[in-house]
Amino acid sequence: MKTGIIGAGSMGTGIAQLAAFHGHKVVILDRSPEAIQRSKNSLLKILNRMAEKGKISDADAKAIFGRIHFVEKIASFSDCELVIEAIIEDEGIKKDLFRELETVVSDKCILATNTSSLSVSSLASACKNPGRFIGLHFFNPPFLMKLVEVIPALQTDEEVTKTSTSWIEGMGHMPVKAKDTPGFIVNRIARPFYGEALRILDEGLADAATIDWAMTEIGGFRMGPFTLMDYIGNDVNFTVTETVYNAFFQDPRYKPSFTQQRLALAGFLGRKSGRGYYDYRDGAQNPEPDKNREKGEYIFNRILTMLINEAADALHFNVANRDDIDTAMKYGVNYPKGLLKWADEIGIATCVKNMDELTDLYREDRYRCSPLLRNMTTENKTFYGD
């Protein structure tokens, strides 16, 4: 399949590498000559490193790079069978792009967006033929992160969903199907990993180092929430949180934190700026965690319960099925276990009890228990039962 990619940033470059690696011809467009050059340099560096390590031969590296063509005009997409945009998260800009694309590509060409936060159905509405439109949300870096969220718009033809899914599977990646709702699967369900950690920090119950220690040492997560937010960038993470919050009509469950907003406004963005929740400057001394086991267990159980509650609600509202939810969280954000499987292990009744205790304490709708969890407790059911 000849694949077109618009946007030569890290995401577009990664998708190009993945597609070309699996034999697809790739056309990549970016209106910035500097971005194109960075993309070329990045691809050559990655492919040469793979050859040096013996993962591919020198001939393979040349062949993969040879299947990628950098272009300056959108007319170069005329014979593509699939075009994916990976540009700025601006709805107006994306819609204008797809309107222009439709004047160039064939009637059978699939148009896809890599958006992580915008409505796929809204973007599809810009097209004269919205049935060909679909969301394909890759995770960074696309070559290594196997998960891809497949998000049909309300207008998407079923055959387009099937073809897109087959394309992803053919490259050895794992497609999960998500309803077109804010955050899809991963960015919706993962919000409490950051949001509840920030709430605990804001209340002074523990500092960032202690919360991170609890989630990694006790919970088994690869990164604590504050280390991860510093890695992502506090400006990026805050924007995603704010977008999801507003997209859910300001549901308090997704309410952003003033602390993160202030860090973003101050330019304390994390690793990329040298300061965030931690200080990354030379010679900086960061605080040691309080390794009180009882406190750590409380932090871990509180955040995990909120994550499970969010996953259960996603299932309750048919955002995705059970297996796709657990697959998405294991492979999209590298959680130690699928959250619904984890719920079974600690007990559905325990999850309900934990949520009710938070509700009793705070009297906030933020801590409402998913009706699915409550019903399952009443009926003595589990997610992975008979």
Q: Computed from CA positions of residues 352, 238, 316, 323, in that sequence, does the dihedral angle turn out positive or negative?
A: negative
Q: Which residues pair with 112 in a beta bridge?
A: 84, 134
Task: Find the angle CA(195)-CA(197)-CA(201) to the nearest 5 degrees.
Answer: 115
Question: Do residues 128 and 5 touch, judged by C-beta distance below 8 A?
Answer: no
Element (DSSP H or E) covering residue 135: strand 133-138
CA atoms within 13 A on the CB side of 198: 24
How many angstroms from the chain centroid is the CA of residue 193? 13
Q: What one-character DSSP code corresponds to residue 275? A: B
| The residue type at 302 | R
8 Å CB contact between 306 and 362: no
CA distances from 380 to 65, 114, 191, 350, 385 (A): 55, 40, 28, 12, 10
d(CA 342, CA 18): 32
- The residues annotated with a catalytic role in the active site are 116, 137, 149, 187
Q: What share of the chain is helix, strand, coil (3-state, %, to 5)?
A: 55, 10, 35
How far apart CA 265 and CA 256 sit, in angstroms, is 14
Nearest to 185 by CA among 312, 371, 354, 94: 312
3-class DSSP state for residue 98? helix
The two tokens of residue 140 are: 């960074």
Distance, CA of 238 to CA of 17 (rounded, Å): 29
